[in-house]
Chain A
Amino acid sequence: MSLIFRKLARNNPRNIVTDAQILVLSCRKLSIVPSLYDGEQDPAPKFFSPNVQVLLKRLTRPDFNKVFRKRTNHGLNILRTPTYKFLTNEELEEEIAKANEKADRLLQMPPIVKIQKHIDDVLSSDPALVGYDTAKFIFTDITFGVANEHRFIVERDPDGVLRSCDHDVRKRLNQVYFPLHGRKLREPVMFADPEKFNSLLDREQYEFVLDRACVQYEPDEPSYQKVTSITYQHLDSHSKYELLRSTRHFGPLVFYLTWHKSMDNLMLELLQTGAVREAALLVALRQDMQGDVVNGELAQGLVQQILPTPIQLKKPERVTEEDIQLDTKCVECIEKYIVSNSAIKSQQELALQGFRENYQQLIELSRGLQKAHGNA
């Protein structure tokens, strides 16, 4: 980018571009500052708590057509002929239960944990070995069945110090002896080269980036958290939430946004698409994680009512009286949230107003239909 601008500046002498300007321009694409989970507070207990997990899974809005979609990285170079079965009701239910389990596996969220600490653990110092060799010696326990994170890997430095290896060395050695499918020894170019990484983000290949990051890195690695953080922020600024819905990455995205108190864009999108129940769940999530929402208990109470209702993949065409009650409560809850916590109040209020008008029409329509059918 900067190169192009330099050329432009050279070719056109009238156009005086100072170096500072060039710098600004070249940095524009990299303006996203990644924020890692490196503070005092550990996100893991919050992330793994059942309340939050349930909320995140519900907010993912799993659509089975997308969860079980045809993927390009399926490992199948040709399609197979489908198979058919005659099933009774019970057998069909069994199959659907199996599919639900499979969906849970496919939607398992990558864990969110605190960033790793350096390992600086001197086991022994043997001055007799100073200058014995010019190279380091690394000893790895390759016993079968030991978990990678508990494997015993130590190094003997040329100055005779025996120490535990740091994470990067551990990762490389683990990959050498026990290779993980899809993980490369060196960092892939798409992560290492910011230009390539940015081009992927500009092409909205968020899912691909996040999938590959999951394979390449450990969740507590700084690089992983950096990559995911930039991806989430890029997606958030472009409001492309629909691309990650029904995938395993939506939960971590919502968690990230809520953790950094920047979920207002997501809230706006939910209101604009008329998903007030999910918006209420998001308020409850905020209350669970941050505890700074006025009347937060109300939202948490709503969660228990919302969860048993079916997931709304599309806008409803008719509503029952119970639906109306629940949605009205949700709207009240969101109103309070907008007043007290939102950073983009006016836009969200506008969106909510739009929803209210549409909803009023829907209510009248369904009540009218009920009357016409004589069930009033």
Chain B
Amino acid sequence: MTSKLLTFGNLISRPISILIKQNNVTPNLHTNFSTSSVACVNFFNKLPAEKLWKSVTSVSNAGAKKGRGKGAGRIRIRDLNRGQVIGVGRSSMLWPGLSAPVIRGRELLKQQRLPDDPERLEKLIKIRDSMTKFRRLKLSPIERGWSGMKMPGRSLGPPDPVGEDAFTGFDTKVLQLRSLLIMKGSLGRTRNFQAMVVTGNGQGLAGFGLGRAKEMPAALRKARNRAGQKLMHFEVYNGHTIFHDFYTAFGKTKIFVQKKNEGYGLMCHRAIKEICQAIGIKDLRAKVEGSNNLQHIVKAFFIGLLQQRTHQQLAEEKKLHLVEFRSENEYFPKVVASPSEVRTKDELLKNETLDFTQYVMNNKVILKKKKFPRFYETMPHYKIYLKKYEKYRNHEKIRRDLKVEYGEVKSFLTDKYPEKAEQEA
């Protein structure tokens, strides 16, 4: 090994002319040497890649304010080294010790030219292009919030545990996340983030919180933990809905909430829906009127829920039995609450509100808009359609009955008088 190194050292120590001699260079090349200087320095090899890229991708201050250099058309920095391997170049060469081992098996590998890879450049370009294309990060539909990658509607998990008390079974949903600009004496206009979240365990416990911070995650964390500190308990009627219809308002926001049957679902503003899910309410309808300021909606809804009266409270207030009638139970009178003492008919006041809905709405009457006929129902062609299809109105049922009886659409006459097409066949 040492002797080999020594010979290598000799090779280096020899003057270049010997090296040139050793190569099979034609001797008349010597005459073509020029002495004029060649400028091998330009900005490509003078400046670092970082600066070069900056010159391409940067946007002027005014341009940035207009929103230039963002989104799909933006020029992105490419790592040109990606896909490049030392020892592999335009012409495919085998360099022992660089791109290949020196000894393979028992033979000593020699430097040689390999057949060219025609797709090499294409592959490189492809790798480079994959970096430049604008890719939007995708969330799974379960993790997704109300809209795309935005935070509102997304889950944050339970609030952080306080001491040893962990919030097991809780889940937090973001209701609002926005940036606020505030003026500071020294810094001028600065940006703050504000988040509103609701947390709940789906079994009656829920709370909402508001958090402000310089950074988005900090604001969300603050809001979540604050919501965990402000839990309220709500009773859920039969585990699926509220106790009665109610009206509630906060600022200019007005909400009319209606109790609904099992299986109705949550037909309401998306924020109210998230709150209901956090509490464990499954069926309800809510109509927001007036301002749709989200924070006001949330506050109004929570106030409304807190002001609910249970059936027992209502019965005690009225001193009358509260009786439930369900259509699925043939309107069987089920007494849901009885007061300690019941008033007689003579004790009722003349102008007293006895209607349950009116009473729980505090005599507020919902304006129900008149339903207009569908646009086509007044047109002449609709009448023609009705006349034309009147005779077919039972055909679907008849077809079903025939399928039950014969396994196909046929009548008792089909065997006797088969279809003509079948006869020919």
Residues of A with Cβ closer than 8 Å to B?
64, 68-71, 74, 76, 78-92, 95-96, 98-99, 102, 106, 186, 189
Contacts and interface: CB of A to CB of B under 8 A. Distances in A.
B210 to A, nearest CB: 34
Contacts of B332: 64, 68, 99, 102
9 contacts: A76-B327, A78-B263, A83-B356, A84-B324, A86-B315, A87-B333, A88-B343, A89-B342, A96-B333
Contacts of A189: 404
Interface residues of B, number: 37
Given A79-B261, A92-B321, A86 B330 contact: no
B321 A87 contact: yes
Contacts of B258: 81
Contacts of A85: 322-323, 325, 356
B323 A95 contact: yes
B263 A80 contact: no
B329 to A, nearest CB: 4
B345 interface: yes
Nearest to B262: A79
User: 10 nearest interchain CB pairs?
Assistant: A68-B332, A86-B320, A84-B356, A95-B333, A79-B261, A68-B329, A70-B328, A80-B327, A82-B326, A81-B261
A82 B321 contact: no
A88 B262 contact: no
Contact of B320 (A69, A79, A82, A88): A88
A89 B263 CA distance: 33
A79 B323 contact: no
A90 B318 contact: no
Contacts of B348: 88
Nearest to A69: B329
A86 B332 CA distance: 15
B215 interface: no
Nearest to A106: B330
A95 B329 CA distance: 14
B193 interface: no
B366 to A, nearest CB: 14
B335 A92 contact: yes
B318 A86 contact: yes
Contacts of B330: 68, 102, 106
B405 interface: yes
Nearest to A86: B320
Nearest to B404: A189
Contacts of A96: 333
B224 interface: no
Contacts of A102: 330-332
A187 B165 CA distance: 67
A74 B328 CA distance: 7
B234 interface: no
A334 to B, nearest CB: 35
B261 A84 contact: no
B140 to A, nearest CB: 32
Interface in B298-340: 315, 318, 320-333, 335-336
A98 B325 CA distance: 13
Contacts of B315: 86
A89 B344 contact: yes
A186 B405 contact: yes
A189 B343 CA distance: 58
A96 B321 CA distance: 13
A96 B332 CA distance: 8
Contacts of B324: 82-84
B76 interface: no
Given A64-B332, A78-B264, 17 more contacts: A68-B329, A76-B328, A78-B261, A79-B327, A81-B261, A83-B356, A84-B322, A85-B323, A85-B325, A85-B356, A88-B320, A88-B321, A88-B348, A89-B321, A92-B333, A95-B323, A102-B330
B421 to A, nearest CB: 28
A78 B283 CA distance: 13
A90 B345 contact: yes
Nearest to A89: B342
Interface string B377-393: 00000000000000000
B226 interface: no
A213 B346 CA distance: 51
A79 B328 contact: yes
Nearest to A189: B404
Given A68-B329, A80-B327, A92-B323, A86 B344 contact: no
Interface in B85-124: none
A95 B330 CA distance: 12
A64 B332 CA distance: 9
A84 B323 contact: yes
A91 B332 CA distance: 14
B329 A83 contact: no
B325 A84 contact: yes
A98 B330 CA distance: 11
Nearest to B333: A95
A69 B324 CA distance: 14
B354 interface: yes
A91 B258 CA distance: 26
A85 B332 CA distance: 12
A71 B315 CA distance: 30
Contacts of B404: 189
Contacts of B170: none
A84 B405 CA distance: 46
A80 B325 CA distance: 10
B329 A70 contact: yes
A88 B339 CA distance: 10
B263 A86 contact: no
Nearest to B243: A84
B259 interface: yes
Contact of A86 (B262, B331, B359): B359
